[in-house]
Amino acid sequence: MPIDTTRDEGAVRTFIWGSCVSRDTFGFLPERFQLTTYVARQSLISAGNDASAIRSKLTPLSSAFQQRMVRGDLAGDLYRRIDAVGDEIDLMLIDLVDERSGVVDFGNGTYATKLSEFWGAGGREASKSARLLPFGTDEHFTLWRDGAQRLMSALRDKDLVDRAVVLRADWASRFDTGETLAVPTWMMQPTEANPAYGPYFEELSSMGLRICAIPAELALTSEAHKWGPSPFHYQDAAYEYFSEAIRSSVNLDDSSPRDRHR
């Protein structure tokens, strides 16, 4: 569905950099929240680094959304997107789920986020001579921390630090019915992912970003989720918690949200 960029009076214009966690949460926010920009499948390591030369080795994807995200990741376009609309943004939602598979290092400061969309477009073959930097390793975290500093600089330039909310949820290992979720063996397991994410969230918090975490008892998946059960597809109660916390934490009850900060 195309993003509506027309401005309704009193609308809370929202920028998402993240994944389905932020995008699904957005669906639980009141109607006056308006999604203007959605940047997904892009690690903070690849953001700001142009690996567009790799595109010639890839094949088109059937999904227009996935195709745009792969191109955006290779172009490292996060900061250009922030710069383009940052002066008009009232709320920025951030989550780190798309960091989960690490990045591919093509050398000379060029990276691609290693996710299924990139792999499905021919990224596996294109990466044969490149290095994989797995999520959670010291090298990945060091590069990611540098990227986090670039992000903070971009947010400060657009007066977005106080309007940013980082969503944190443990990966689910159980359903809301109490049954155990069978996580594919090729995927990082929740018992690995949850401690691995800790230093990344702590880094963003230490830099001054607001972290909104759901209670562990809400971090459950559901058969009813529109995208199906997954460690990062949650029950409705989790998104409702995030929605309420977002509205409370940024105090967006005025009719002119952006003007409130001036």
Of 71, 55, 78, 255, the C-alpha closest to 151 is: 78
pLDDT digits (tens, 9 = 90+) for 224-259: 999 999 999 999 999 999 999 999 877 655 444 555
Q: Which residues lie across from 40 on neighbouring strands?
A: 18
What mean pLDDT do residues 172-176 have?
97
pLDDT digits (tens, 9 = 90+) for 13-70: 999 999 999 999 999 999 999 999 999 999 999 999 999 999 999 998 889 999 999 9
The single-letter DSSP state of residue 189 is: P
Q: Residue 170 — very low, low, confident or very high, per pLDDT cuts 50/70/90?
A: very high
> What is the CATH code of the structural domain delimited by 12-250?
3.40.50.1110
Of 92, 238, 242, the C-alpha closest to 155 is: 92
DSSP labels for 239-250?
HHHHHHHHHHHT
Between the alpha carbon of residue 117 and those of residues 58, 83, 107, 124, 246, the distances in Å are 11, 26, 21, 10, 29
CA distance 36 to 49: 23
Amino acid at 29: L
CA distance 75 to 220: 35
Amino acid at 23: R
Residue 4 has pLDDT above 50, yes or no: no
